[in-house]
A and B are shown apart, each in its own frame.
Chain A
C-alpha cells in the first residue's frame, strides 16, 4: 500500500491540491478530501483498452497496434486541407505544446474546449482586460462574494470551502460569518439557497442589469428605469451600495453569463463594472473554469502563438478570429475535412450541427476514456490519464500553475508520445 499526500485533483478548475491517495498494486483504492466529482474522475471509469480502427463509422471497431493507429492518424491528418485539432482541457500543458507543434506542421486549426464554455470570457478580456487575483487573495480578504451565473455547489463543490464563501484567512478570520454572499442568476440554484441575497434576473437580461448597475455606480441612477431585467430599481440601488461598501469584493461568473444572450458582451460589461468599482473599493473578477486545465491550454497557446485559442495555422502563421477560426465555426460550415479530438469530448458537448458534420468526416480520438466522441471516431488511440498516471503542469482557474502528480503507473502510453509519433509520421509522409 502506498499513500500519496498533497495530490492534485484533475477534475475542475479548482485544482484542489490537498488530496490523499491510497494505492495498492497500482490501483487507486481510496481518494481522501476530494469532492465526489473529483474522486469519481480519479477512481476511473470506461477506459479504452487498446487502439481501434474501423473502415466506416457504421462498422465495428477492430483492435489494432499503436503503430497502425498512429500511421492511419497521420495519413488522415496529412491528407486534410482543413484539419481541426480539438480538445486539450483534460490534458497537461506538456501535451498542449506537442499539439501546437503538430498543428503548425499540418497547417491545422487548434482549438480547445473553452469554445463551448469560457472562450467568450477571453473575447471579453480582449476588450476590457481582466482585473483578477489569485484565489488565496480572495480567501484572505473578501467580505463580499458574488456568484453570477455560476453554481459552485453543483459544479465546483470545494470552491466555497477552500477559496471563497467559508474560507478563513488573515483578514477574514470569521469565514462565512464575516461575509456577504450574493447570487445573481435566472433561477434559484443550490448556491442561491445558501446566499445572503439572491437577485433573480430574467433570462438573457444580464447585460442590461450590468449596465444599470454601472449607470447607478457612475452617479446616473436617474436614467435607470423602475425595473431592469426583472430586478427592481430599489434592489439594484441596494446591490450597488453593498458592492461599493465592501472592503474586498470577489465576483465569480460562470456559463450562465458566458452562454446567455449577448454572450461575451455580458462579461465585457461585467469587467467594466469591476474596473469602475475599484474607484470605491477593491473588486476582482474570476471565471469559474470547468476542466482542470482549460486555463493551461489558453496560457500555453498564448505564449506559443500569441493567441489564447482557436488558432488557424493554415497559412503557416497563426491567425485568430473566433467566429471564423473556432472549432464550431468551421464544423457548422462543414469546412473541416478531418479532425483529431484529444482530451475533450466534442461528441457530447458540441451543437448538433457540428456533431452531424463530425459524423461525416474522418475522426481520430486520443483519450483514456470511451465517450460520445468514440461513437463518431474512425481511429481511437487510448492514452494514460494526465494527472493520475502522468505528471505535468496545469493552471488553476486563477492562472496559478501547479504540477500534477503521478498517482499510479500508466497502463497506456502518454498523449505526448502519441503526438510526437504522429508528428514524426506526418513529416515522413510529407517528405520532410
Chain B
C-alpha cells in the first residue's frame, strides 16, 4: 500500500517544518522517502497537514470510565447516533461508549491516545475496553502512588526492589508508565482520610508523599522508561494548592532524566494552580506555575482546560471526589482498590456565571499562554474532568485568537477579571505551537517521538489534513473556521489508511496497545516477589496466579522495551 500526500501546508515541529509545501510519502503504514508512481495520491491543495494528534492524558477506558457510563444514562442519551454500515452506534457526551471514543478522536485527526490511570488489579478491565476502541493507538498509565509494595520499598529505601516492582507492575497491568495520583492519599482514603501536604506521614507505612514521588522518579529513570513519572499532585481541588504543585515540581531537581525528556509530568494544572485560602478568595495562580516552568527544565504539564457545560469528574483521587460530591450535592461513585489506590466519579456542570468555574476556565489558558515553550504545556481537557475531548478545537481556537477569548470573557462571571490574568494576555499561538501542543509535545512527553507526533521518515503514517489554508486565514479573526476545521478533519490517515474523509469515518481498523516491558536483574525480581507473594497470601482477595493481565487482552500489542539491563530496542 503506497500513498502520496501532495501540496500540503505541513506543520511538523520536531522536523522544523512550519507550513512548507512538502509532499509526504507513505508505504506499509510508515512514512518513507518516496513512493512509486503506483501510489494513490491525496491532493491536499494547500490545506493544513499535521502529524496525527496524540493525547497523553485522557480517561478513555477502564473501571472509572465505565462507572461514569453506568451512573450517567442522562449523559449517554446526550450523544446518540445509530449504527451505519461501517460504524457501531455511538452514545454519550462526557462518557462516550468505546466506539464513539475511537471515532470522535479520529474525526478530530487524533490517532494516539493514552488512558491516564489504571490500577493494576483492574487493568484487565481497562484492556477489555481498549480492545474495543476502534482506529486509534492507545495505552494506559499504571497507578503506583499509594500501592502497599511501593510504600514498603520506599520506606526500606530499596530502589532495586521498587524498580523491580514497577517493572513487574507494568507487566502485570500491561501499562505504559508510572502514574502517581495524590501519593499516599489513596491509602489514607482507605480509612476516609487524606494527606494534606508533601511531608505528611502516611500512617502504618511511615512514608511521605515526597518520599514516594522522589523514589518513583528515581526508579523511573533507573528503568529508563519512555515516559516520566506522571503526577496528579496532592491537595488537588483545594484552594491554595498551587504551593503544593510548585513544591512537587521542585522535587524534580533531585533526579536526572535518563532520556531527552522531562523527569516529571505534572498533569491537569487547571485543578492544581489554585490560589486563595477558601472559595471566597479563590484565585488563579497559573501565572506562578508558568513562571516556574519558564525557569526550569525537565518538567512538563498539561492544561486540563475547563469547558463550560456538562463534565464528569473521575480520578484515582478518592478523597477529592468525596469532597466534590458533598460540595455539589451530586451523585458519587467511589472505587477503592485493595492495596493499591482509590477512585471516584462525580458529575459536574461548569457554568459561566459561577465565579469558581470562570476562574478555572482562565487557568488552563493562562498556563498555556504564559509559558513560553509550548513543549512544556500540552493541550488537554483531562477528559472528561475539565470537559469532553471533543472540545479540543474550541481550546485551539481560544489559544489562537485573543478576539475569541475577549468575546468569551464578556459572557463570564466578573471574577475572571479580578482573579485571573487572562483578560490582559494578548499572545496568540500559531499553527506550529498548536502542532506541538496537540501532537509533537505529547509524543515527546510520552517518549514516543521516534514514531509518533512527527512526519519524518520512519514515523508511523498517522496524519491529519484540515480544511484550512494556513496562508489564507487569520486565526485571530476567523476563529470559528479554525474551530470547525479541527472538529472535522478533511482526512485522518492512521497507519497509512484513510480512516476519516470530510469528517466521516471511512474505515475502522484496530489500533495497537502500547505497553512497556522493562527488564530488571532476576535477583531483584526474586527478592521483590517474596514480598508480593506474602501480600497475596495475606491481603489480596484474589490469587497471584489470577492477577496479571493475560495476552488474550492485547490482540494488537506494541511492546516498548526498557529496563535496568540494556535490551535491544524494538
Instruction: Determine direct contact between A and B, CB below 8 Å.
Output: yes
**Chain A residues in the interface with B (C-beta under 8 A):** 5-6, 8, 17-18, 93, 97, 104, 122, 125-137, 139-141, 162-163, 167-171, 247-248, 275, 278-279, 281-282, 284, 298-300, 302-308, 313, 315-320, 393, 395, 399-403
Q: Kindly list chain A residues whose C-beta atoms are within 8 Å of the C-beta of B70.
A: 122, 125, 298-299, 302, 308
Across the interface, do A6 and B546 meet the contact criterion of CB distance under 8 Å? yes
Across the interface, do A303 and B132 meet the contact criterion of CB distance under 8 Å? yes
Q: Kindly list chain B residues whose C-beta atoms are within 8 Å of the C-beta of A122.
A: 70
Across the interface, do B89 and A305 meet the contact criterion of CB distance under 8 Å? yes
Contact-residue bracket for chain B? 35 or more
- Name B546's contact: one of A8, A128, A247, A307 (CB within 8 Å): A8
Q: Which residues of B120-144 have CB atoms within 8 Å of chain A's CB atoms? A: 121-122, 124-125, 128-129, 132
Across the interface, do A132 and B92 meet the contact criterion of CB distance under 8 Å? no
Asked whether any CB of chain A lies closer than 8 Å to the CB of B468, the reply is no
Q: Which candidate, B286-294, B334-342, B367-375, is the interface stretch facing chain A?
A: B334-342
- Name B124's contact: one of A8, A247, A393 (CB within 8 Å): A393
Across the interface, do A317 and B81 meet the contact criterion of CB distance under 8 Å? yes
Q: Which residues of B320-375 have CB atoms within 8 Å of chain A's CB atoms? A: 322, 325-326, 330-339, 345-346
Asked whether any CB of chain A lies closer than 8 Å to the CB of B86, the reply is no
User: What is the bound-complex CA distance between A279 and B319, given in angstroms?
Assistant: 11
Across the interface, do B332 and A303 meet the contact criterion of CB distance under 8 Å? no
Asked whether any CB of chain A lies closer than 8 Å to the CB of B543, the reply is yes
Across the interface, do A134 and B541 meet the contact criterion of CB distance under 8 Å? yes
Give the one of B81, B334, B552 with max A CB within 10 A.
Answer: B334
A-B contact pairs, 8 of them (CB 8 A): A126-B71, A131-B333, A133-B335, A284-B336, A302-B70, A317-B89, A400-B542, A403-B552
Q: Kindly list chain A residues whose C-beta atoms are within 8 Å of the C-beta of B91.
A: 305-307, 317-318
Across the interface, do B125 and A299 meet the contact criterion of CB distance under 8 Å? yes
Across the interface, do A306 and B95 meet the contact criterion of CB distance under 8 Å? yes
- Given known A-B contacts A131-B333, A133-B336, A137-B190, A318 and B325 have beta carbons under 8 A apart: no
Asked whether any CB of chain A lies closer than 8 Å to the CB of B73, the reply is yes
User: What is the bound-complex CA distance between A376 and B347, given in angstroms?
Assistant: 45
Asked whether any CB of chain A lies closer than 8 Å to the CB of B532, the reply is no
Q: Kindly list chain B residues whose C-beta atoms are within 8 Å of the C-beta of A275.
A: 325, 332
Q: Which candidate, B61-69, B387-395, B458-466, is the interface stretch facing chain A?
A: B61-69
Q: Kindly list chain A residues whose C-beta atoms are within 8 Å of the C-beta of B16.
A: none
Q: Kindly list chain A residues whose C-beta atoms are within 8 Å of the C-beta of B546.
A: 6, 8, 17, 402-403
Q: Kindly list chain B residues whose C-beta atoms are within 8 Å of the C-beta of A130.
A: 67, 71, 333-334
CB distance from B339 to the nearest CB of A (A): 7
User: What is the bound-complex CA distance between A168 and B538, given in angstroms?
Assistant: 8
User: What is the bound-complex CA distance between A141 and B148, given in angstroms?
Assistant: 14
Q: Kindly list chain A residues whose C-beta atoms are within 8 Å of the C-beta of B89.
A: 104, 305, 313, 316-318
Asked whether any CB of chain A lies closer than 8 Å to the CB of B72, the reply is yes
- Given known A-B contacts A136-B541, A318-B89, A401 and B125 have beta carbons under 8 A apart: yes
* Chain B residue, CB-CB nearest to A19: B543
Q: Kindly list chain B residues whose C-beta atoms are within 8 Å of the C-beta of A278.
A: 192, 322
Across the interface, do B67 and A136 meet the contact criterion of CB distance under 8 Å? no
- Name B333's contact: one of A18, A132, A139, A306 (CB within 8 Å): A132
Beyond known contacts A125-B70, A304-B99: 14 more, CB 8 A cutoff: A6-B546, A93-B128, A129-B330, A132-B334, A133-B335, A136-B339, A137-B336, A140-B190, A140-B539, A162-B541, A167-B541, A170-B539, A275-B325, A300-B128
Across the interface, do A307 and B538 meet the contact criterion of CB distance under 8 Å? no
Q: Kindly list chain B residues whose C-beta atoms are within 8 Å of the C-beta of A305.
A: 76, 89, 91, 97
Across the interface, do B80 and A318 meet the contact criterion of CB distance under 8 Å? yes
Across the interface, do A137 and B552 meet the contact criterion of CB distance under 8 Å? no
